[in-house]
Chains A and B, each alone.
Chain A
Amino acid sequence: MSTSTVAQPGPRSAGPAHSSNARTASPGPGPSFFRVLNSEFIKFRTLLSTLILLAATAVVMVGFGALSAWGTGQFADAAGSDPQAAEALAAQGGDLAVTVPTSGIAFAQLILGSLGVLLMSSEFTTGMARSTFAAVPKRIPAFVAKLAVVMVSAFILTAVSTYVAGLVAVPILDNYGLKLDLASSQSIKLLLVNSAYVAAVAAIGMALGTLVRNSAGGIMSLVGLFFVAPIAFQLIPGDFFVEARKYLPGNTLTPLTAVEHVPDTLEVWQAGLVLGAWVVVPLALATILLKIRDV
């Protein structure tokens, strides 16, 4: 390492001039919520891995939008000549195009949920938490600030990616004579609900990362909850699991976005409450444990 720049402590090098013993009661501004939020945003944007995950989400969302536009077009074409396909198309309400921009949502929730886990677990695995909570010893403001940064980023990124995916999909669908109106109320609803849903998943990820304090463990729990449990619940026979399946957080998106009620899912209001509980309960638990556990 370079030692040529070693600063020798001298009267001018230890910091701003200050009278040594006379220290006033108020040394200067402390960690207000706004300052902590600013700090968490700096932390968020100065990690390359975070930026890569955000970019990956956008690419996947837009890519899947384009792919799905093409697939939907092919399907609609086939429906023109095949009565069976036409029947299937009619069963979908005839409006397949409107869901095209959000086709990549499963991947967005996986990536951004994992990001939520990582941003919290890495605090503990790297020791950064000691710096974070020495600066904000009340701890909860730092957690809430990070949560705000994560959820708002997840929401905005999903919304923008969905919109861009829509822009890419429109001309492709047009080739097959399908119309997608990004300004329609259903399009806007899908964009908002999906973005809010992904923000909720990212929040659940943050709670898991805080509880588990370990990146692999946190991501495994997230994947278990969103990808393994729905399949496992379907495979296990019994009415209980059919019923319980509806209450998994990943199964609340369908009722929340459907035009009409889909069988074997919750009502819209129920789905909203269930998803809310999946966010609030783990977060509350994480907050309490964060406050009382040693860093």
Chain B
Amino acid sequence: MSIADASNSKPPLSVRLRGQLGGYGFLLPWLLGFVVLTLGPAVSSFYLSLTDFGLMGSAKWIGAENYVRIASDDPRFWTAMKVTFTFVLLSVPLKLVFALAIAVALNKGLRGLTIFRAIFYLPSLIGGSVAIAVLWRQVFSGDGVLNQVLSALFGYEGPSWISNPSTSLYTLVLLAAWQFGSSMIIFLAGLRQIPTDMYEAASIDGASRRRQFIKITLPLLTPVIFFNAVILTIDAFKAFTSAFVVSDGSGGPIDSTLFYTLYLYQEAFTNFRFGYASALAWVLVVIIAFFTALSFMSAKYWVHYDD
């Protein structure tokens, strides 16, 4: 290739610039937002995590001290970790199982699919709101609906599930599981992608329905399961509103619903320990990143891709 040739192949600067300007012109709002509202704050929050910084005064550099304290000298951090992990490890599988089971049931070609689908989807649309948390608080309180139903049906006088530290977290798990609808919709969409002739071929081969489910549906659905699992896990780590409302922002009773985000909120906006809270935030980011990476690494052992 001669030099003349190469220069020939490039339009002059003005023309190239015109194309670039169009692209960057439209991207500008996002780009500004990304730099000012995401990138900049991410960097500065990492810096803050290495300082002692409150509402008054300026940030004082203390190196890794915040992180050291988190790891070695902060029992509430470990409580929050335990609560959050329990919540994630219970709510995500529950949601997945419900979502998949209902999706498979709905995919049987029953009439009224749209109505059922709407009903199951509704809770995940409104489940994050304060109103639902308030409702939950009532349902699981001592004289709440659950206990009314239990005593009416079984004559069992239940405790106050919300204010009992050994059950309070599970009410929140249940609230999360109640919102399996959007995962279900994603599963339904995935199920519809599976070509019908696969089942026809399998039926001709004499495979039973159970076998078809295990040998065809599940493997072909693994990418969707994987995707849902990742998204749900990330979301579960970020859960906040329900715990806040149910516990009046305290994470109680006795820190039994102290979600990580709630602890983070308290440190930042109740105690105004911005430096320490930033360190907490980064620990959360790393945890989420770690779990996401772990899932992606595990994917090649169980997720089935066509190509």
Are chains A and B native binding partners rather than an unrelated pairing?
A: no
Please report A residues at the B interface, Cβ cutoff 8 Å.
none
Please report B residues at the A interface, Cβ cutoff 8 Å.
none
